[in-house]
Amino acid sequence: MPISRTQMPSCGAYPGETCHPEKHEPFESFAGLDLGIMSESTVGTPLQILVYSHDSTTRASVIAALGRQVATDLPEHRIVEIATGPALRQYVDSKKRVDLFVLDGESNPEGGIGIARELKDEVFNCPPVLLIAGRPQDSWLATWSRADAVVLHPVDPFTFADKAADLLRSRSVASR
């Protein structure tokens, strides 16, 4: 049974899941937003990694794979968990810094593949997107989405952490 908007908390968590304390501003299109490139002023500050999936077990496996620090040459990170597409848009609209998007392509009702494409089309200087695809046959969809890297379900912690670290490094190199 689908959940109505009136049952869904403003943070986007599903009933029974943890609601995160960020207060989201009213929805706006995120066209033309610049989420900020890592610069000298952000070096040493925790990285911001946004994890989007409707499935709390997928989010938990991603968080476990990322650990506290993806790689020894990168700073520690903070993880923002988001369960719905509208909550993700609200977070992006709030113009909070994001260094890496991790999107579950199998999310329902709005998949991470479409959201990845939307972010790449509408966010100026879009941070890297790491897409979690359901099967190898979805590689053409991942290409269409313009995701920077793709891993498959179930999440392999070593592969996942390596790809995330590579994307975060490439973002910091691009900002120099």
DSSP string, 113-141: HHHHHHHHHHEETPPPEEEEESSGGGHHH
Banded model confidence at residue 173, pLDDT cuts 50, 70, 90: low
Q: How far apart are CA 141 and CA 128, in angstroms?
A: 17
Q: Which residue has the tokens 């199998």?
A: 106
Q: How many residues does the chain have?
A: 176
> What are residue 129's phi and psi, to 5 degrees?
-120, 125
32 vs 174, higher pLDDT: 174
Mean pLDDT to the nearest integer, 150-157: 96
- Tell me how far CA of residue 126 lies from CA of 99, 108, 117, 122, in angstroms: 9, 23, 11, 8
pLDDT in tens, 27-85: 344 444 445 434 344 456 899 999 999 999 999 999 999 999 999 999 999 999 999 99
Q: Are 11 and 22 within 8 A, CB to CB?
A: yes
Q: Which CATH superfamily is domain 33-174 in?
A: Response regulator (3.40.50.2300)
Whether the upstream peptide bond of residue 127 has omega within 30° of 0, thus cis, is no
87 pLDDT more than 60: yes
Please choose, from the candidates 64, 153, 145, 144, the residue with its C-alpha nearest in 3D space to the C-alpha of residue 104: 153
Predicted local distance difference test score (pLDDT) of residue 39:
39
**Mean pLDDT across the chain, nearest whole number?**
82
pLDDT in tens, 23-32: 433 334 444 4
